[in-house]
Chains A and B, each alone.
Chain A
């Protein structure tokens, strides 16, 4: 028999603040991403070749011709659907199954648990043993897909330099830098690079790679937030320039 303590928690600090802030942050970003996804406009600056990462690659018939770097390979989407719906499942899948975000939303949204040593409100708990949460084990596949999309984002950022250098180029470059660091710091990446080995001494290159990724992995949470926020900042900047609301600050040309 456990000690009889009626209170849900005896914590006296503001334990509710981190999950609340996480929930608010994720909600705000989700709303922004949804609005921009279904806006279907202001994603390409033709003059400076800026393409927002949210619409990259743009693959469907309704894409602006110059924004479709790899051609308009897919037919026009029906109804209210826009080009990002093709890639968003992969990007969302990568973030949703990410070991950091799992912690974040299990705590903030599902309250399982809301904070350490604070009782969760659920009567039953099966963790990640059953459908749908057993699908969290697919994280590595989303990692592969996100890595491909990252390469395309890098291509976009480099391609944009072909007309000179402006603030937009710097924004796109910082964006792929943060996305790259977040993707590389992924726990699945760490495992694939070398974590799955039993004998590091037999694989010195993989061991070195694993040690470098481990250093990045220690900052996975910070990189997750920085890259997520900066994708929105990048998209907003491109949208503002594309809509003519602001002019791009040019350094060269």
Chain B
């Protein structure tokens, strides 16, 4: 049932590298990560690949397979023809450490820039009470496994390194949306989404949604609702006037 598959794997480090060709045994039911492991075991013991759960839940084995950002462990070999060359490269948006392993610390830096959940004053952990309908929008975003494929595929930073400073990426704009929609969060996150986290840079081309292995509707349910909330606050003169009058009265 097995066959000899053709693989082209990027090998190298931050000093340089390139694609190398390999012929590896592929068996029925395997995923790309299985083949990468066989490559390690039989031909390239020093091939670096980050992986953990092999079940699409840890978000470690993010890479690009035939140019598409995907999880190595969730890409079945059966989707490729037996004579097809499967090209495996590291994520392009982040600095490479070695072979298929990239330095994703950009994401951790962006995570730290988002102010934490802010519950109402006087309500201690354990005393939070909320309705299911109020919290379920935020719960969709909690499915995120932090594979960072969305940030990797987002052209705002993938094609423009200079935007990394001002753009949190879809993953962390979704985190802002998660907190903004949380029924007990009291922080004002709308202005910051635009001014601090770069929401205005997003042009909603939906690649983040396309590559999400958890099928979170990042664009429709997080980014566009945040853009609409920003429009409420910044670009809607009627809302602005209402707020102005309300403030004057008070």
Contact = CB atoms under 8 A, between A and B. Distances in A.
Interface of A: 1-5, 9-13, 99, 102-103, 106-107, 112-113, 116-120, 122, 124-129, 133-134, 137-140, 187-188, 191, 195-196, 198-201, 207, 217-218
A1 B202 contact: no
Given A125-B160, A133-B203, A207-B133, 18 more contacts: A2-B92, A2-B95, A4-B18, A5-B19, A5-B89, A13-B66, A102-B203, A106-B203, A106-B205, A107-B205, A113-B159, A116-B153, A116-B210, A117-B69, A191-B229, A195-B225, A198-B134, A201-B131
Contacts of B228: 140, 187-188, 191, 195-196
B65 to A, nearest CB: 9
A201 B206 CA distance: 30
B26 interface: no
A120 B155 contact: yes
A137 B220 contact: no
Interface secondary structure of A, over-half rule:
loop
A183 to B, nearest CB: 16
Interface stretch (B9-17, B50-58, B107-115): B9-17
A137 B230 CA distance: 9
A4 B17 contact: yes
A128 B234 CA distance: 14
Contact of A119 (B66, B159, B225): B159
Contact of A128 (B15, B95, B201, B225): B201
B200 interface: yes
Contact of B227 (A11, A133, A137, A207): A137
Nearest to A188: B228
Interface of B: 10, 12, 14-19, 64, 66-69, 84, 87, 89-90, 92-96, 102, 131, 133-134, 153, 155-156, 158-160, 163, 181, 183, 198, 200-207, 210-211, 220, 224-225, 227-232, 234-236
B207 A113 contact: yes
A125 B163 contact: yes
7 contacts: A3-B96, A12-B87, A127-B203, A129-B200, A137-B234, A140-B231, A198-B181
Contact of B90 (A3, A119, A124, A125): A3
Nearest to B207: A116
A102 B204 contact: yes
A117 B205 contact: no
B180 to A, nearest CB: 8
A117 B156 contact: no
Nearest to A10: B67
A124 B160 contact: yes
B15 to A, nearest CB: 8
A138 B234 CA distance: 11
Contacts of A107: 205
A2 B153 contact: no
A198 B138 CA distance: 11
Nearest to B18: A4
Contacts of B69: 116-117
Contact of B205 (A9, A113, A137): A113
B18 A199 contact: no
Contacts of A218: 220
B105 to A, nearest CB: 14
